[in-house]
């Protein structure tokens, strides 16, 4: 991963006044219970994604001054993708992890897993935790979950704050993970960007 530091196409995101970096797969606090990243602890994005993210930061500050993003994952080496895949393959959670044979947008540095921290420093309640691979996590089922009382209006409102900041910056929301945003569709990525092993 040393090459990323020297590659001008990659931007490292660091903690600052507008973001908290908490790479969950670089800790044991994730659905696998394992530190999957080992010595790789930096948060990188392709420049095109980093530029969009800067606009998302501005969008959030306009609507919610003092709030921050919390980044749970950004560039994810494909070697880690394989380990995630082995955990979910053949289970009900398989649809939440991209097949490493094809690659995830994360493997190109063109996706973010992201949440919000309020102006008091508290993580904002989205109704389901990051990598909580259950139907309540799925944006496409929010109306159903709200009607069933499994998601509150406040929790949905928080998701919409995040969604507005990200989508107005040019990101696309993944239909089955409230936290996942793509900078570009996979059709525009293949052949133009290099996957990170």
Residues 43 and 115: their CA atoms lie apart, in Å, by: 15
Task: Output DSSP code: residue 195.
Answer: P
pTM of this structure: 0.95
Please indicate whether residue 138 is annotated as part of the active site. Answer: no
Catalytic residue among 42, 138, 142, 177: 177
* Tens of pLDDT, residue by residue, the chain (197 residues): 667 877 889 999 999 999 999 999 999 999 999 999 998 899 999 999 999 999 999 999 999 999 999 999 999 999 999 999 999 999 989 989 999 998 999 999 999 999 999 999 999 999 999 999 999 999 999 999 999 999 999 999 999 999 999 999 999 999 999 999 999 999 999 889 999 98
Residues 177 and 169: their CA atoms lie apart, in Å, by: 18
**Thinking of the domain 2-189, which architecture would CATH place it in?**
2-Layer Sandwich (3.30)
Can you say how many angstroms the Cα of residue 143 is from the centroid of all Cα atoms in its chain? 22
Domain ranges of the chain: 2-189
């Amino acid at each position: 991963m040393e090459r990323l530091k020297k590659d001008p196409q990659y931007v490292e995101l660091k903690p600052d006044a507008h973001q908290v970096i908490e790479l969950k797969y670089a800790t044991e606090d994730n659905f696998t219970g394992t530190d999957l990243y080992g010595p790789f602890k930096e948060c990188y994005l392709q420049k095109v994604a980093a530029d969009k993210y800067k606009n998302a930061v501005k969008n959030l500050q306009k609507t919610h001054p003092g709030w921050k993003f919390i980044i749970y994952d950004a560039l994810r080496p494909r070697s880690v993708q394989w380990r995630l895949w082995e955990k979910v393959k053949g289970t009900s959670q398989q649809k939440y992890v991209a097949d490493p044979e094809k690659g995830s947008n994360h493997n190109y540095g063109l996706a973010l897993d992201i949440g919000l921290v309020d102006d008091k420093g508290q993580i904002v309640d989205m109704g389901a935790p990051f990598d909580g691979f259950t139907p309540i996590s799925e944006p496409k089922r929010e109306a159903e979950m709200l009607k069933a009382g499994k998601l509150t209006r406040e929790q949905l409102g928080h998701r919409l704050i995040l969604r507005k900041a990200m989508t107005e910056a040019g990101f696309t929301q993944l239909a089955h993970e409230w936290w996942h945003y793509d900078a570009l569709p996979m059709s525009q990525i293949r052949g133009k960007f290099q996957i990170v092993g």
